[in-house]
A and B are shown apart, each in its own frame.
Chain A
Amino acid sequence: MYSKPRILTILDIVTSLLFITAVALVFFYAPLEAVMGQVQRVFYFHVANAWVGMLGFLVAAISGVAYLLKADRKWDIVGLAAIEISFVFFLTAIVSGSIWARGSWGTWWTWDPRLTSAAIAELLYAAYFMLRQGIEDPDQRARIGAIYAILSFISVPLTFISIRIFRTIHPVIIGSGAASAEGSFDMTTKMLVTFMFSLLTFSFIFADLLWHRIRLGRLTEERETLRLKTLQ
C-alpha cells in the first residue's frame, strides 16, 4: 500500500551518486582560489542551495496557480512540499553565504541589497507556514496558501536581480556585477565544471526530495481521512 515506486529508488541512487561526485569535485577537482583561499569552495554549494530555494518557490507559485484554476488538493500538497524544501535550502544558502562573507568580506552580515532581499524572501516564506497553521478548513487553507505562494514569489526575482540593478558588494558570478562587488573571482574551466555539476546535482536533490515530500503529504491526507472515518 505504501511501497516506494522503483523509479524513486533509482532516483535516490542516482542523486546520491551525483552528490558524492559533486563533493569530490568541490574538494579535489576545483582549484584553490588565489585570493580568498579555501572559503571560496563554499561558493559551489552556496549558489546551488540558493538555486534550489528559488526553483522550489517557483514550483510553489505554479502549483498555486494550478490549485486556483482546478481546486484540486494535490496542488496544495505540491506547493507545500516545494516551499518546505526551498525554505530549508534557502536558509542554508543564507547561513553558508554569511560564513563565506566572514571569510572574504570580514563581516558575518551587512545590509546589502542581496542579503536584505534574501532575508525578506526567507521571512515571507516562514510566514507561509504560520499562515497555514492558523487556518482549520483544508480547502480555505489551500486557497489562501496558493494566493500567498503566488504573491510571495515576487520576492524571488527581486532577490535574483538585486545584485544586477543595485550598487552592492555581493559578487555577480554570471554576468557583470557592480564595481563595488567584493569577493568576485574569475572562474577557471575546472571551477565552471564544478559549479555547473553542483547546480545539476542540487536540481536532482530537489526533484528527489520533492517526490518524497509529496508522498509524505499524501500520506498525511490519507491519515486525516482515516482518522475522521474512525471517529464517526
Chain B
Amino acid sequence: MITSLIQQAPAETTTYMVAGYSVIFGIMLIYIISLVLRNRNLKRDMQSLHELERQDK
C-alpha cells in the first residue's frame, strides 16, 4: 500500500527531447538558409541579366 502511494519518477528521456528539438531547429534553420541563399542568387542573376540587357542596347 505504501509503495503504491509513492509517486514514480518520470522516465529519463532527456536524450530524446534533445534529439527531437535538434531536428526541429535544424530543419527550420536549413530551410531559412536555403531561402536566403536562393534569394541572393536570384538577385545576382537579375543584376547580371540587367547588365547584359544594357550592353545589348
Chain A positions near chain B (C-beta within 8 angstroms): 2, 32-42, 45-46, 49, 85, 88, 91-92, 95-96, 99-100, 102-104, 209, 212-213, 215-216, 219-220, 222-223, 226-227, 229-230
Contact = CB atoms under 8 A, between A and B. Distances in A.
Contacts of B31: 85, 88, 209
Contacts of B56: 230
Nearest to A4: B39
A38 B13 contact: yes
Contacts, number: 105
A54 B11 CA distance: 31
A195 B50 CA distance: 48
Nearest to B43: A2
Pick the most buried of A2, A39, A40: most chain B CB atoms within 10 A of its CB. A39
Main secondary structure of the interface of A (DSSP, over half): helix
Contacts of B46: 2, 219, 222-223, 226
A42 B28 CA distance: 15
B2 interface: no
B19 interface: yes
Contacts of A99: 16, 19-20, 23
Contacts of B27: 88, 91-92, 95
